[in-house]
Chain A
Amino acid sequence: MSTAQSLPALAADFPAPQIAYSALSPMVAVFGAALIGVLVEAFAPRRARAGLQLAVALLGLLGGLLAVGLLAGTREVTAVGAVAVDGPALFVQGTVLALGVAAMLLLAERSLESGGGAIVAQAATVPGSADERALVGTDHLQTEVFPLAMLAIGGMLLFPASNDLLLMFVALEVLSLPLYLMCGLARRRRLLSQEAAVKYFLLGAFSSAFFLYGLALLYGYAGTVSLPGIAAATQVTASNDGLLYTGLGLLTVGLLFKISAVPFHSWTPDVYQGAPTPVTALMATGTKVAAFGALLRVYYVAFGAIRWDWRPLLWVIAIATMAVGALLAITQRDVKRMLAYSSVAHAGFILTGVVAATRAGLAGSLFYLLAYGFTTLAAFGILTLVRDADGEATDLSSWAGLGRRSPMVAGAFAILLLALAGIPLTSGFTGKFAVFSAAADAGAAGLVVVAVVCSAIAAFFYVRVIVLMFFNEPAADGPTVAIPGAFTSAALALGVAVTVVLGVFPSPLLKLADQAALFIR
């Protein structure tokens, strides 16, 4: 009785928080589609699930893209200061959504593997058991992977738009947890896949703990978790520098882990290799793009005033990341691992744009992220096509002479590798030019010299694969190249087209990135 009387009174003196749902509409579309996907999983008959799930996911992603397009130009802080919708956030969200569409198409491809696709038939079966052997050739499919991927993409949209560290932490977990799970769902080589999942989960949990501890220390320093609030504190407070720098350092560990920068890169090759290739494609592109979006926001918005303190640190990390990524990629005998180290090296190249700490650096990084994302996604997509009896044939030696047997696929892969190497007339060159010139203008000429040397080292192993494909005799028992189904073809065509178009006509997107490159503070 007493509660019935007091509830309206309580509600009256609780002002509801203002949330502009229109500004959050890309996230609402993606999370909404993920929830519908969970319901489909519960109620739809098994035969219809895979098709329905793909339709729901694509609708959600395209709806999100439409929402990003409609929001273009918005500069708004909403949800009680927790979310900032501004140029960089929308640019990164648009990139993640477009990459998400392509990754979803790769996930949905079922013609390559006797009807089942790259995802395990039943994750709960024991690897090597009779149950598993009976299921591997069937068209069973763990369709929960679609809502899980949508939840991860939703987290990737929220991560770069978080204007306070608490929401950023929750978004980091929302994007990571489904990826940990999806890593363990490969159809073939289940033990390798499960090992990758456990490794990624444990190391990811550690890195999240670092992020959280850094967050706590920064709260102790600034008395707030909002990025503009921390920025204000760095401008007025001169005491407690220990808390600030330790907090910033620990926070950076969490972020560098997600972009797989050296020395927090050691998980990358193992996890990329063990995960199902479409999931690897999503991890290597979407996660990296979103994490760079968040990293840029943290450094530029919250710590822009103390950039002279963090720039030397990022200098060292950028150099180490480029050098280790490029040098270790040379030693790899496996194409998938080589692409993993290549993604480490590219994290270093993008960090040179971050080090610039200028508007040009931000614009260059945004352009680079988009260019790198599409190229890498298509490169992993092509890995799914080259197969032998055990599934994907990723050993470098088995790719010899591929250009003679399958000139289309080998030619597309060559274009992507040239773009990753940064050869002119590809998107990779434009991206590298944008970040390097921004870094040089900002007084980091030494870093640019190292970056150019590392690009040359990296070009060596990309070109080596091209030489191997086109100028070597094919092995007698080499792999076959599967005819890609409609979904894979669409994803690969998108990736290759973006790579070439951004190399030949980069100016519209460069202009867009330049217009977008202004954080709301």
Chain B
Amino acid sequence: MTTKDVVFGALGLLACCSGVLVVTARNVIHAALWLVVTLGALAACYLLLTADFVAWVQVLIYAGAIVVLLLFAAMLTRAPVGPGQDLDSGNRPAAALVAGGVGVTLVTLLVQAFRSAYVDLDRVAGTGAGRPIGDALFRSYVLPFEIASVLLLAALVGAIVLTRPEIGRR
């Protein structure tokens, strides 16, 4: 067991624990901040796995933009942000059961499937850098990449339709 393994395990534990805190926190803002910790720990895991580009994208997009979006949504709507607001519904035990069951199943499945798989990190160094990902994005997956922009356009048009009353009469 190398130092890398120990650090990786610690980061994984951090991600799991803060993940649990995201769903158990009594305050929406606290939950969003715990989410930053989870996503940050995951980004550090990616770094250890030599996927540095993915790690920085994770920090920029998820820990940065998405969580900021969540906080803005909580601020701009009448979401219950104060302490003591009851966020739990009566379905809590059932939800915990389903989530636990899914978690156990998937972990068992992945451990079973990749028990004997071994990747030498020194040999794959560089596969997670910007260049190979850019290559894949603009060559093998160029069509899905371009079609995703159509999806964003649909979302933009839809957001305007649902929220913006017609300004002025033409």
Contacts and interface: CB of A to CB of B under 8 A. Distances in A.
A144 B141 contact: no
Interface string A160-190: 0000101101110110011011001100000
B164 A240 contact: no
B105 to A, nearest CB: 8
A82 B154 contact: no
Contact of B161 (A123, A164, A217): A123
Contacts of A45: 170
B112 A242 contact: yes
B72 interface: no
Interface string B135-170: 100111111100110110111011011111110011
Contacts of A180: 158
A7 B140 CA distance: 21
A453 interface: no
Contact of A174 (B110, B138, B147, B166): B147
A185 B165 contact: no
A152 B110 CA distance: 35
Contact of B158 (A19, A148, A174): A148
A14 interface: yes
Interface string B116-148: 000000000000000000010011111110011
Interface residues of A, number: 53
A17 B139 contact: yes
A122 interface: yes
Interface string A245-280: 010000000000000000000000000000000000
A140 B144 CA distance: 36
A144 B157 contact: yes
A171 B151 CA distance: 9
B165 A181 contact: no
Given A80-B139, A243-B109, A170 B160 contact: no
B113 interface: yes
A220 B158 contact: no
Contact of B147 (A80, A170, A243): A170
B148 to A, nearest CB: 6
Q: Is the interface of A mostly helix, strand, loop or mixed?
A: helix
A460 B6 CA distance: 67
A170 B162 contact: no
Given A17-B142, A80-B140, A243-B109, A158 B147 contact: yes
A489 B83 CA distance: 59
Contacts of A124: 161-165
Contacts of B138: 14, 17
A122 B157 contact: no
A178 B154 contact: yes
Contact of A220 (B114, B135, B143, B154): B114
B151 A181 contact: no
Given A80-B143, A246-B109, A173 B165 contact: no
Contacts of A246: 109
Contacts of A181: 154, 158, 161-162
Interface in B75-89: none
A167 B139 contact: no
Contacts of B153: 35, 38, 151
B147 A178 contact: no
Contact of B165 (A122, A151, A164): A122
Contacts, number: 106
Contacts of B165: 122, 124-125, 131
Given A148-B157, A181-B158, A185-B161, A79 B142 contact: yes
A38 B114 CA distance: 48
A117 interface: no
Contacts of B148: 170
B151 A177 contact: yes
Contact of A151 (B110, B139, B144, B154): B154
A242 B109 contact: yes
A15 interface: yes
A31 interface: yes
Contacts of B163: 124
Interface in A383-398: none
A16 B148 CA distance: 19
B154 A148 contact: yes
Nearest to A147: B157
A329 to B, nearest CB: 30
A182 to B, nearest CB: 9
Interface in A167-219: 167, 169-171, 173-174, 177-178, 180-181, 184-185, 217
A142 interface: yes
A152 B150 CA distance: 10
A113 to B, nearest CB: 19
Nearest to A250: B106
A174 B150 contact: yes
A177 B142 contact: no
A154 interface: yes
B139 A177 contact: no
A15 B139 contact: yes
B109 A171 contact: no
B109 A154 contact: no
- Among B138, B139, B144, find the residue whose CB has the most chain A CB atoms closer than 10 A: B144
B166 A122 contact: yes
Contact of B150 (A125, A144, A154, A220): A154
Nearest to B148: A170
7 contacts: A19-B142, A125-B165, A151-B157, A164-B144, A178-B158, A221-B113, A242-B113
Given A80-B140, A124-B161, A185-B161, 19 more contacts: A14-B139, A17-B142, A35-B153, A38-B157, A80-B142, A122-B166, A123-B161, A124-B163, A142-B161, A148-B161, A152-B154, A170-B144, A173-B151, A174-B151, A177-B154, A177-B155, A181-B154, A184-B162, A242-B112
Interface of A: 14-17, 19, 31, 34-35, 38, 41, 45-46, 79-83, 122-125, 131, 140, 142, 144-145, 147-148, 151-152, 154, 158, 164, 166-167, 169-171, 173-174, 177-178, 180-181, 184-185, 217, 220-221, 240, 242-243, 246
Q: Which 10 A-B pairs have the closest CB atoms?
A: A181-B158, A79-B143, A124-B165, A167-B144, A170-B144, A151-B154, A82-B143, A243-B113, A144-B161, A17-B139
